[in-house]
């Protein structure tokens, strides 16, 4: 429903030949053609289909953006030679689209706006280098896709083509129609390049293989992946970096795209280790990797890279690592294998948080995420720990007796057992972090106590001994080792 009437959103070639146009009311269209077949518009489904089409075009370049509502933008810089040049790539994409039942009009130009204008308002095709302006000047001002009022005003002023606009001083055009017009004119004529914003962020490292015939052999596919991992490792080594995530994209001949990712807990370019993680990932797939009628291309992307120092080799040619480093490497390898097999959200580790609140002092995050920059508090030398290793959530209520009001407990009952306190340290008063979540939680006075058998507890009291007030309550929050 637009402007209180049902209107045509789009028309096929037969409808256009019969004189129907977009924005025509449905009543007028049926009056002209009683046998008209009208289908309700589904913009969400159209956009979803365009997204699937963008994923298909990812095999030609990793930089693909939506050009809503009808098109796609592909940045083929540095990719065209893989398909025999820009003309050959244009032909390949056109054949794929026609095989899928789509009619397209494509253009290759120096800027996204120039290609968009030529494909929508021109004949499309390839613009020779340096000829953008000459081929775009004859296009109508509608190619800038300004508002309808602006296009009408330009036409009434005798400015009907981009050449007419280009021959006028830009200052006068900006003063009359706004700076947006001159900016679009410069970009459409190829004088200013504005990069596209791809649907998927461009990875730091990309290696890929295209096959002359669709590949069906799974063993051969693993060999291709091993070669891609080794090639990516050499690229990362030249940069002094290692990858934290490795994504393999499989492009099937029927247009489907399957992506699988493995992550590491620290930067790596160890090809055998990454290949082992890949095998672990494939073995745990609920939906096995199906080649269908074969894969046309396989791409390995490294979206996350971090600096990685090269280990100094020893005299026997092996990396010189101390015992602690060897243990860290073994633990990191184990974590990577667990993440690959069970998923990043099921393998967790604790990191320190910048807070004084004991419950929030540690946070469980995925083991695949980078380590926190906040260090764990170092214990005082020759002093017992200030925080217990085990915390109860929620704290467990206990019955306690204090020798003096607001003093440490001398005896408490927990789980039906009475503990006589031999030593006590405190109080340590901890206030709630009201500035984070506005919590109305009262202040707590914590005590580290030790009973007659040498067991150590972490107790806290809420409230004070005041007249006409409820008596304070005691809770056990944690146990020391």
Q: Where does the pLDDT of residue 340 fall: very low under 50, low under 70, confident under 90, or very high at 90 and above?
A: confident
Reading the block at residue 54, the tokens are 């963008």
Query: Across all residues in the chain, what is the average pLDDT?
Result: 86
User: What kind of fold does domain 1-41 have according to CATH?
Assistant: MutS, DNA mismatch repair protein, domain I (3.40.1170)
Q: What is the pLDDT of residues 129-169, one digit of tens each?
A: 888 888 999 999 888 888 888 888 888 888 899 999 888 88
Angle at 416 between CA 414 and CA 417, to 5 degrees: 70
Of residues 101 and 3, more confidently modeled? 101
Query: Where are the domains positioned within the chain?
Result: 1-41, 43-188, 205-340, 344-377, 390-479
Angle at 345 between CA 342 and CA 351, to 5 degrees: 120
Q: What is the pLDDT of residues 96-133, one digit of tens each?
A: 888 888 888 899 998 899 999 999 888 888 888 888 88
Q: How far apart are CA 142 and CA 160, in angstroms?
A: 8
Instruction: Please give the average per-residue pLDDT across 252-266, as a whole number.
Output: 87
Q: Which three-class secondary structure string do you get for the chain?
A: CECCECECCCCCHHHHHCCCCCCCEHHHHHHHCCCCCCCCCCHHHHHHHHHHHHHHHCCCCCCEEEECCCEEEECCCCCHHHHCCHHHHHHHHHHHHHHCCCCCCCEECCCHHHHHHHHHHCCCEECCCCCHHHHHCCCEHHHHCCCHHHHHHHHHCCCCEHHHHHCCCHHHHHHHHCHHHHHHHHHHCCCCCCCCCCCCCCCCEEEEEEEEEEECCHHHHHHHHHHHHHHHHHHHHHHCEEEEEEEEEEEECCCCEEEEEEEEEEEECCHHHHHHHHHHHHHCCCCCCCCCCCEEEEEEEEEEEEECCCCCECCCCCECCCHHHHHHHHHHHHHHHHHHHHCCCCCEEEEECCCCCCCCCEEEEECCCCCCCCCCCCCCCCCCCCCCCEEEEEEEEEEEEECCCCCCEEEEEECCEEEEEEEEEEEEEECCCHHHHCCCCCCEEEEEEEECCCCEEEEEEECCCCCCCCCCEEEEEEECC
pLDDT of residue 421: 94
Q: Where does the pLDDT of residue 389 fall: very low under 50, low under 70, confident under 90, or very high at 90 and above?
A: confident
pLDDT of residue 474: 94
pLDDT of residue 312: 55
Q: What is the pLDDT of residues 201-215, one digit of tens each?
A: 888 899 999 888 888
Q: How far apart are CA 121 and CA 140, in angstroms?
A: 8
pLDDT of residue 325: 64
Q: Where does the pLDDT of residue 377 fall: very low under 50, low under 70, confident under 90, or very high at 90 and above?
A: confident
Neighbours of 110 (CB within 10 A): 19
Percent of the chain surpassing pLDDT 70 = 95
Q: Where does the pLDDT of residue 172 fall: very low under 50, low under 70, confident under 90, or very high at 90 and above?
A: confident
Number of C-alpha atoms within 13 angstroms, CB side, residue 203? 24
Radius of gyration of the chain (CA): 34
* Cβ-count burial 446-455 (b if 16+ within 10 Å, e if not): bbbbbbeeee
pLDDT over 60 (residue 285): yes
User: What kind of fold does domain 205-340 have according to CATH?
Assistant: Dna Ligase; domain 1 (3.30.1490)
pLDDT of residue 390: 85
Length of the chain: 481
Of residues 324 and 426, more confidently modeled? 426
Reading the block at residue 192, the tokens are 């200013």
pLDDT of residue 354: 81
pTM of this structure: 0.66
Q: Where does the pLDDT of residue 313 fall: very low under 50, low under 70, confident under 90, or very high at 90 and above?
A: low
């Amino acid at each position: 429903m637009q402007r209180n009437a049902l209107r045509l959103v789009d028309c096929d070639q037969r409808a256009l030949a019969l004189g129907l146009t977009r924005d025509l009311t449905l009543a007028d269209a049926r009056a002209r053609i009683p046998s008209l077949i009208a289908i309700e518009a589904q913009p969400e489904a159209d956009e979803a289909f365009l997204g699937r089409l963008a994923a298909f075009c990812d095999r030609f370049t990793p930089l693909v953006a939506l050009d809503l509502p009808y098109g796609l933008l592909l940045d083929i810089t540095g990719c065209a030679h893989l398909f025999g040049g820009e003309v050959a790539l244009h032909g390949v994409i056109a054949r794929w689209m026609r095989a899928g039942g789509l009619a397209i009009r494509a253009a290759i130009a120096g800027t996204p706006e120039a290609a968009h204008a030529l494909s929508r308002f021109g004949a499309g095709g390839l613009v020779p280098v340096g000829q953008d302006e000459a081929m775009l000047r004859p296009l109508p001002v509608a190619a800038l896709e300004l508002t309808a009022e602006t296009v009408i005003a330009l036409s009434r002023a005798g400015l009907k083509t981009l050449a007419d606009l280009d021959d006028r001083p830009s200052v006068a055009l900006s003063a009359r129609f706004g700076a947006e017009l001159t900016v679009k004119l410069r970009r459409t004529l190829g004088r200013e390049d504005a990069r596209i914003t791809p649907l998927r962020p461009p990875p730091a490292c990309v290696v890929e293989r295209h096959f002359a015939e669709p590949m069906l052999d799974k063993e051969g596919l693993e060999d291709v992946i091993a070669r891609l991992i080794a090639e990516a490792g050499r690229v990362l080594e030249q940069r002094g970096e290692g990858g934290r995530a490795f994504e393999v994209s499989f492009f099937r001949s029927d247009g489907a795209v399957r992506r699988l990712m493995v992550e590491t807990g620290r930067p790596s370019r160890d090809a055998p280790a990454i290949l082992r993680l890949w095998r672990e990932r494939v073995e745990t797939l609920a939906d096995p990797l199906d080649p269908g009628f074969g894969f046309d291309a396989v791409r390995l992307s490294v979206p996350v890279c971090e600096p990685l120092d090269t280990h100094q080799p020893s005299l026997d040619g092996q990396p010189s690592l101390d015992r602690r480093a060897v243990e860290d490497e073994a633990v990191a390898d184990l974590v990577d294998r667990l993440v690959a097999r069970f998923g990043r959200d099921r393998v967790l580790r604790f990191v320190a948080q910048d807070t004084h609140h004991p419950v929030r002092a540690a946070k469980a995050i995925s083991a695949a995420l980078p380590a926190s920059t906040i260090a764990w508090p170092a214990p005082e030398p020759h002093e017992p720990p200030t925080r217990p290793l085990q915390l109860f959530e929620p704290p467990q209520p206990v019955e306690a007796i204090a020798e003096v009001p607001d003093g440490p407990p001398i005896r408490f009952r927990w789980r039906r057992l009475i503990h006589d306190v031999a030593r006590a340290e405190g109080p340590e008063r901890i206030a709630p972090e009201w500035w984070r979540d506005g919590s109305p939680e009262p202040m707590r006075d914590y005590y580290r106590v030790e009973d007659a058998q040498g067991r150590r507890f972490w107790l806290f009291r809420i409230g004070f001994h005041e007249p006409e007030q409820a008596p304070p309550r005691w809770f056990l929050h944690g146990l020391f080792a």
